[in-house]
Amino acid sequence: MSIRYSYHIGFVALLLLLAACTKDELADDARLPEGQYPLQIAAVTLGVEGGEAQPWGAPATRVSEKEDGNSSKFDADDKFAVQIDDKGKVGTYTVQNDGSVEAETPLYWSDRDEAHTVTAWYPATGGTLDLSDQSQSLAYLLGGSGTGDYQTPVTLTFAHRLAKVRVTPTGDALGEVQSLQLYTYTQCTYEKGTVVQGSQEGWIEMKRCEYTENGVSFTCWEANVVPGYEIKKLRANGTEERNLSAAITPEAGSYYNITLNKDKGYTIDENGTYIVYSEEGLRAWAGSLWNAPSRKIILTADITLTPPADGGSNWDPIKTYEGTFDGGGHTISGLVIKGDSKKLGFFQYLKSATVENLTLENVQITNDFSGTGWSYVGGVAGEIDSSTIENCFVSGSVIGNALGQWSDSYVGGVVGRIASAGTLYYGAIGCGSSATVKGHNRVGGVVGELILDNVASCYATGSVTLESKATDNTYIGGVVGYCYDSFISGCYATGSVTGSGSGTIYVGGVLGTSLCGTLNACYHAQGKVSGPNGTTGGVLGQNIWDSKFGGGILNVCYWENNGQEKGIGTNEGGTVLEATQVDGTTVTWQNAVDAMNPKLDGLRISWHYELKDGNRLPTLKKL
């Protein structure tokens, strides 16, 4: 947005004539006969501050613009005040229908001294000026002065005591603007044509106008404002706020023009980071990744994506991202992705990347994979490698269908698959999903498959469903479907977990299968956990220990009221240090919290469980 401003003082020539007489007819001394030499006004004209202001039609306030669009004028019944030598009586003069002026309370010359100062102002009386709604006509405050004596006609030059601000939308912005507002004083007190004090900060409704420059017509919005208030922002269409690229502090009698370009929805800081606050800005950032896949982004506002017009998708998933996406605690709503892809989510693939502080609300992600091999589907990302997703949340539905004869689907509410070169990362930490999650092979409320990585302090409250089409093994868990040589710590699930279909299905309230993995301080409660007998557990479906890699450890975990009598469906050489059912008497949730939190302390995880007042089940709190 660019700003230009110029200064031009308007004027009104008030011709003040004396009654016909000569000095010979005057009294001998310097005094004039009382009440015999009235101040008369022959004509009234009024100019504007500058620019090319246009007519307003029938104004609600009195002073308005001339039909030629280049100046202002007084209207019939407008009253302004006049005073000689800034003392004594004040005269009131009224504009007539024909444009002439008549004295309502006339003034008289009292002596023959030269060079008297004459002042005038509009409105004629002091008071409070309401500037809040100028959508039909502008508000005016005028002051004038001149010199003269009883024989010499007096010319008064009027100046505007408010400042005029004009906003001109350009290009694509023009068609999008239906109304404009400025944030400044909405009222001011005034006396003798001078602002005494501005008050009540708020939004001023501007007046739509038109002007011509170099033969080109422009639509604009204008308002007169109190001088001295620093104007930093405007608002379009009642909701869309914009900060000015440079604030303006208007001066009385001056005119300021603001060019309003189409809102790109983002700015770029000195480090090349995209600061994004709209859907347009988000899409612009995504488009820039073709040349710079590690470009950082920070959201500064919630964003709602435009619904797809044809029932298809409204977001093209970002293929590979290697930078930092900081959601700033904001929400992206209405994400719709329908595809047939190896990887699908807001991001398809994260490589040495970070996504944090983001909520994806009411997503609809469906992958109908017809190819051969694995497909990875997640709300935030399909697959991540040596990356971190932290403090991210997903609601809606995440579905991965394996339609091909030799196809598999790995599906998670947050991420489909996490795989790293080692266990140095937290692939997902402090994340949550309330999404409905469905898939065919490895399905989890938060993560479908976890390989050589960590998941900590995550939760899932939505239903998780696996419908197996395979003849071999499939895995489903309330938090993670399948875990290999990884750690899952401080996680819980409260939604239903259902595994059905062909082959061998491992179902766990928290984790489907742990192969050399470690499950610490986790629980499942409330939703039903359903699957085949012998491979279904309240916490873990299958626990496997490996002679080379070890693992297969379940440590201080709990379950309650999920339809299962055993914490582990099948334990194949793994170590079970503690898997306990909460019965509400001998073991309570307070007992569970007291046992799980010290375990999390030992792992140096900056999250704890807590039982808030009124909550039956523990929730996670960052320390």
pLDDT attached to residue 37: 75
User: Nearest CA to 577 among 508, 525, 521, 514?
Assistant: 521
pLDDT attached to residue 72: 65
pLDDT attached to residue 560: 97
Residues of the chain with pLDDT under 50: 1-27, 47-61, 68-69
Q: For the domain 163-260, what is the CATH code? A: 2.60.40.2630
355: DSSP letter: E
Radius of gyration (C-alpha) of the chain in whole angstroms: 38
pLDDT attached to residue 65: 61
Task: Give the three-state DSSP class for 325.
Answer: strand
pLDDT attached to residue 422: 57
pLDDT attached to residue 424: 52
User: Nearest CA to 210 among 218, 222, 201, 202?
Assistant: 218
pLDDT attached to residue 239: 85
Cα 608 from chain centroid (whole Å)? 31
Residue with tokens 């700015």: 267
- Span 512-531, pLDDT tens digits: 999 999 999 999 999 999 99
402 touches 344 (CB < 8 A): no
Buried b (16+ CB within 10 A) or exposed e, 73-108: bbeeebbbbbbbeeeeebbebbbeeeeebebeebbb
pTM confidence score: 0.70
Number of other CB atoms surrounding residue 382 within 10 Å? 32
Task: Give the three-state DSSP class for 146.
Answer: strand
- Span 111-151, pLDDT tens digits: 888 788 889 999 999 999 999 999 988 899 998 888 878 87
- Span 59-101, pLDDT tens digits: 334 566 655 445 567 788 888 999 988 888 999 988 888 877 7
Distance, CA of 341 to CA of 338 (rounded, Å):
9
522 touches 445 (CB < 8 A): no
Q: Which positions ≥6 away from 27 have C-beta within 8 Å?
A: 33
- Span 401-429, pLDDT tens digits: 999 889 999 999 999 999 986 555 679 99
* Helix segments in 239-395, DSSP class H: 279-288
Q: Which two tokens stand for residue 252?
A: 């009385």
- What fold, for 320-582+602-608? Pectate Lyase C-like (2.160.20)
pLDDT attached to residue 8: 28
User: Nearest CA to 508 among 553, 454, 559?
Assistant: 559
User: Nearest CA to 18 among 123, 106, 125, 135?
Assistant: 106
Q: Where is 356: in which H helix or E strand?
A: strand 354-369
Number of other CB atoms surrounding residue 578 within 10 Å? 14
Average pLDDT, the chain: 87
Widest distance between CA atoms in the chain: 130
pLDDT attached to residue 54: 33
Please state the domain extents for the chain.
Answer: 2-160, 163-260, 320-582+602-608
